[in-house]
Amino acid sequence: MTPGDSGRAAAALRDLPSIDRLLRAPGANELLADFGRAPATDALRATLAEARAALLAGHDPDPAAPPDWEVVAAARERLAAARERLAARLAPTPPPVINATGIIIHTNLGRAPLSAAAIEAIAATAAGYAALEYDVAAGRRGPRGAAVEALLTELTGAEAALVVNNNAAAVLLMLSALCRGREVLISRGQLVEIGGGFRVPDVLAQSGARLVEVGTTNRTHLRDYAAAITADTAAILLVHHSNYKIIGFAGEPEAAELAALAHERGLLLLYDQGSGALLDTAAYGLAAEPTVPNGLRAGADVVTFSGDKLLGGPQAGILVGRVDLIDIARRHPLARAVRADKLALAALGATLGHYLTGRIAEIPVWGMIARPLDDVAAEAEAWAGQLRAAGIAATTVAAESFVGGGSLPGESLPTRVVVIAPGDLGAEALAARLRAATPPVIGRLHDGRLLLDPRTVLAGEGEAVVRGVVGALRAEWRVAGSG
């Protein structure tokens, strides 16, 4: 900082407005009305602190802009900065993002996006009161989620159903209610770890059931289960390999074989199917995924699965199976602690309605899976053309989309992605710029390139993707040309 700059900075520090002056400045009343006096005052204090720190450091808050201490000190700038800070603080949480990763069920981005019907159902239920535990026809209290559970039994062929808040809770409730204090047999090859580091053995231990491992990691035989059964065994637990594959010299009994053994020995077969598939995935060009109805037909007494994976609905855990067993789970004290709320039930009911009426394409997950490659490629080429028209080097290349969400591991769908030449900025820095866009655009980094996959971008979001890329790279040009 030169002596002249130092003097200007000192003068600017003296000229920084006080909080009292800011609260009397034009525009302050609107800020107070929009955000409240205490939050607005706190935000103004924070922006003043930032301005002081910038001046003491000897530079303007925007290093790309020429020094202009008068602008820094102006009350309108402080008010604008406070408004921006408060708007960011009160923005929707978690914030909406655009998923251009090509991962359809992206766990970190909220898994399955909901259909228009599910969103409408949530809005209608949230806007006022709802008959959540009320029988309108009888005029008295009724069971929670009865209508949704009726749809589940119709679609799966189960005798009864129960909805809780996620599948880990469904498994925990099932084991707590049906196996507490007794042994549960499980193959070593099915001792899976699910998202966030949670593991099936930990869930089993929390339930109060005692885990008995049978077989080996890669091969478990029916005789291994049979040899492990004791007078204290309550059930065989079958866990679907929904988020990993064992290939090579591997094998395990089919669900029907386990059901026959369990029932012959007076045990239950409990099946954590996980992914919630109700459809034949092979019809969509994917590997055949075990479905919930097939698990029940094979003889499973209770099947648990997720609402927000291949089912394509909201976060929920679902138990279907024998009515006597579901009733035991329903009456267990843990059931209240893990029950689903009215918004999840509303969205789940609407999603199940698509299956009942055959309007599967309206479920975003299945619409993305079924989207023709030509359609995806046409959108990718359109994005690339718009970017080239803006002076940005962009091409399209063949790539793969993935189902994700702990479903169909290793399975991919052919796609066409946009690859942007980031120049000196680099792919990772460009990805960071896109994440800072409004709305944030999340791409996929692969081999040092940033890929943007239209398959997972919802209708109407493509313009924001292109705008985000242009804004990110033009910001780089502006900074590069400012010196």
List the single range of 30-44, 140-154, 187-201, 203-217 with lowest mean pLDDT. Answer: 187-201
Pairing of strands 444-446, 134-135: unpaired
List the single range of 164-168, 249-253, 463-467 with lowest mean pLDDT. Answer: 249-253
**pLDDT value at residue 91:** 77
**pLDDT value at residue 404:** 85
Tokens 């910001």 -> residue:
475
Say what percent of the chain tops pLDDT 90.
63
**pLDDT value at residue 11:** 65
Average pLDDT over residues 267-279: 94
Say what percent of the chain tops pLDDT 70.
88
Average pLDDT over residues 276-298: 92
* Among 354, 344, 439, 452, residue whose Cα is nearest residue 399: 452
**CB-based contacts of 249, cutoff 8 Å, min separation 6:** 218, 219
**pLDDT value at residue 145:** 92
Reported as a single tens digit per residue, the pLDDT across 339-394 is 999 999 999 999 999 999 999 999 999 999 999 999 999 999 999 999 999 999 99
How far apart CA 422 and CA 121 sit, in angstroms, is: 42
* Among 455, 459, 446, residue whose Cα is nearest residue 420: 446
List the single range of 219-223, 244-248, 277-281, 471-475 with lowest mean pLDDT. Answer: 244-248
Average pLDDT over residues 57-69: 47
First to last CA, the chain: 17
* Confidence band of 7 (pLDDT split at 50, 70, 90): low
**pLDDT value at residue 162:** 98
| Residue 292, CA distances (Å) to 143, 235, 300, 312 in order | 24, 19, 10, 14
How far apart CA 305 and CA 163 sit, in angstroms, is: 10
Give φ, ψ of 240 to 5 degrees. Answer: -70, 140
Query: Which has more pLDDT, 146 or 79?
Result: 146
* Among 323, 333, 1, 345, residue whose Cα is nearest residue 148: 345
Provide the CATH topology of domain 98-106+367-480: Aspartate Aminotransferase, domain 1 (3.90.1150)
How far apart CA 408 and CA 404 sit, in angstroms, is: 7
Query: Which has more pLDDT, 242 or 172?
Result: 172
Reported as a single tens digit per residue, the pLDDT across 314-323 is 999 999 999 9
How far apart CA 286 and CA 281 sit, in angstroms, is: 6
Tokens 């119709």 -> residue:
154
Q: Which residues, listed in sequence order, are joined to residue 185 by a DSSP beta bridge?
A: 212, 236
Print the SS3 string covering the chain: CCHHHHHHHHHHHHHCCCHHHHHHCCCHHHHHHHHCHHHHHHHHHHHHHHHHHHHHHCCCCCCCCCCCHHHHHCHHHHHHHHHHHHHHHCCCCCCCCEECCCEEEEHHHCECCCCHHHHHHHHHHHCCCCCCCEECCCCEECCCCHHHHHHHHHHHCCCEEEEECCHHHHHHHHHHHHHCCCEEEEEHHHCCECHHHCEHHHHHHHHCCEEEEECCCCECCHHHHHHHCCCCEEEEEEECCCCCCCCCCCECCCHHHHHHHHHHCCCEEEEEEECCCCCCHHHHCCCCCCCHHHHHHCCCCEEEEECCCCCCCCCCEEEEECHHHHHHHHHCHHHHHCECCHHHHHHHHHHHHHHHHCCHHHCHHHHHHHCCHHHHHHHHHHHHHHHHHCCCCEEEEEEEEEEECCCCCCCEEEEEEEEECCHHHCHHHHHHHHHCCCCCEECEEECCEEEECHHHCCCCCHHHHHHHHHHHHHHHHHHHCCC
* Confidence band of 106 (pLDDT split at 50, 70, 90): very high
* Conformation bin of residue 468: beta by default, left when phi > 0, alpha when psi is -120 to 50: alpha
Reported as a single tens digit per residue, the pLDDT across 185-241 is 999 888 876 655 667 788 888 899 999 999 987 889 999 999 999 999 999 999 987
**Is residue 71 over pLDDT 70?**
no
What mean pLDDT, rounded, does the chain reach?
A: 88
**Is residue 430 over pLDDT 60?**
yes
* Pair 168, 343: CB distance under 8 Å: no
Average pLDDT over residues 445-451: 90
Reported as a single tens digit per residue, the pLDDT across 112-131 is 999 999 999 999 999 999 99
**Is residue 172 over pLDDT 80?**
yes
**pLDDT value at residue 67:** 42
Class of domain 116-362: alpha beta
Average pLDDT over residues 311-340: 97
Pairing of strands 98-99, 441-442: parallel
* Pair 146, 137: CB distance under 8 Å: no
**Is residue 12 over pLDDT 70?**
no
Q: Where are the domains of the chain?
A: 3-89, 98-106+367-480, 116-362
Tokens 């960011």 -> residue:
88
